[in-house]
Structure 1
Amino acid sequence: MNKFMWACVAVVALAVVAESLTCNTCSIGILNTCVFGSTATCSASEPNCYKGQATFNVSSVVNLYTKGCLASSACNTTTTGNLLGAGYTVSRTCCSTDRCNGASSIQLPLTAALGAALVALWSSRAF
């Protein structure tokens, strides 16, 4: 009887893991390139994959991107705010199939990503 109970527990645990969504993750992306990306298995409290984009009002050239798992209440929302006097808009779009939030991007060394961001900022102010 004890073996039967452990077998049932194993089957239920396998079913729970099989139902979990796998999403691409990106802590920060610049110029459509993920700086640090991987994949994650979503939890019950954050059951959706999402793509997020932060657009700064002073320059639409440099946008920041994120990917990962998100709670249903935060899905398909847009929020605005100010950071050091610069206005920004954050949009989050959710989906619900494995890795539906875009392919994993090529990871760049941090210095290359920061250099690209500075060049984009500089070129947007030069014109």
Structure 2
Amino acid sequence: MMNRIVLGVIAVIGFFTLTEALTCNSCQVGVLGKCFFYTKVDCTASQNNCFTAKAEFNVTGFLSLSTSGCTSDCNTTSGSILGAGYTVNKLCCASNLCNGASAVQLSMAGALSTALLASIWSSYML
């Protein structure tokens, strides 16, 4: 009888440990290392890492975009958008809120510009 109780307690603890979702900082788009729309998100079971990614465009050299959130893919990627080459470097970590982000205030024009960049970039990142 005592063995069943001990096994039951272990099973319940294991269930809650396995189903606890990783929480990450999420930023759809940031410019020059600053996040504009920052939130906290719970990752899905298949997304076992938080990440921060930086996309650098080969043509400009100085302009970079960043994003952060949950992922299962921590690989560096490259490609092109409208003929401009880019490289995306991802830094991954596996504990809650380990991909720190900072938020800044935007003007209306800045927010609209950022939203446009985010919609173009996210269509290529997915």
Q: What TM-score does the superposition give when structure 2 sets the normalisation length?
A: 0.69
1:12–1:31 Cα change, 3 Å? same
- Structure 1 unaligned regions, length at least 5: 1-7, 116-127
Q: How do 1:1-127 residues align onto structure 2 when only pairs under 5 Å count?
A: 14-16=16-18, 19-71=20-72, 74-75=73-74, 77-109=75-107, 111-112=109-110, 114=113
1:110–1:67 Cα change, 3 Å? farther
Q: Distance in 2 between matches of 1:112 and 1:52?
A: 21
Identical positions, percent:
43
Code of the aligned partner of 2:57 = F
- 1:35 and 1:109 in contact (8 A); partners too: no
Q: What TM-score does the superposition give when structure 1 sets the normalisation length?
A: 0.69
> Could you list the runs of 4 or more consecutive aligned residues of structure 1 that deviate by over 6 angstroms after TM superposition?
10-13
Code of the aligned partner of 2:34 = T
Query: Which has the larger strand fraction?
Result: 1
- 1:51 and 1:93 in contact (8 A); partners too: yes
Q: Distance in 2 between matches of 1:47 and 1:107?
A: 30
Q: Distance in 2 between matches of 1:101 and 1:30?
A: 16
| CA deviation profile, 1:17-36 (whole Å, cap 9, x unmatched) | 5x321100000001211121
1:34–1:12 Cα change, 3 Å? same
- Structure 2 unaligned regions, length at least 5: 1-8, 115-126
